[in-house]
């Protein structure tokens, strides 16, 4: 489905909704879909795109908060900003999100990446 949408010219940066909208990359990262994350990045998705609204997260922040270590590793290897600022309201850095979720291995990975 992702390939079909990309071939049809789907936008990689348009958020899904105005309020707390996410890009396709942010949604894939949140769900832990590493293969889709790789494909979207290869197609030109902006790794550090900020979500719309005051409550969103970058792809790295959402993957870290969800404990998706493989996706965190993919994003870091592709140059995601480990210290991207959190959203205005109730935001978390990737490190804070991982710690809050109790994802110790992700916390260690982020610390090794100098978070």
Give every residue of the chain whose pLDDT is below 70, as ranges: 1-21, 51-55, 90
Cβ atoms 85, 51 nearer than 8 A: no
Class assignment of domain 19-112?
Answer: mainly alpha
Tell me what the pLDDT averaged over the chain comes to. 85
Give the pLDDT score at 76: 98
- Interval 28-59: pLDDT, tens: 999 999 999 999 999 888 899 876 666 678 99
Give the pLDDT score at 78: 97
Give the pLDDT score at 86: 83
Domain boundaries, the chain: 19-112
Query: Distance of CA 65 to CAs 2, 7, 8, 43, 106, Å?
Result: 24, 31, 32, 25, 9
- pTM reported for the whole predicted model: 0.85
């Amino acid at each position: 489905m992702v390939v079909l949408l990309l071939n049809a010219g789907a936008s990689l940066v348009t958020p899904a909704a105005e309020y707390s909208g996410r890009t396709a990359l942010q949604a894939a990262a949140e769900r832990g879909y590493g293969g889709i994350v790789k494909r979207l990045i290869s197609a030109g998705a902006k790794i550090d795109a900020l979500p719309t609204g005051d409550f969103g997260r970058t792809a790295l922040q959402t993957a870290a908060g969800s404990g998706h270590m493989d996706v965190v590793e993919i994003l870091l290897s592709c140059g995601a900003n480990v210290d991207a600022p959190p959203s205005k309201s109730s935001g978390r850095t990737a490190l804070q999100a991982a710690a809050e979720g109790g994802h110790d291995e992700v916390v260690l990975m982020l610390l090794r990446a100098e978070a």
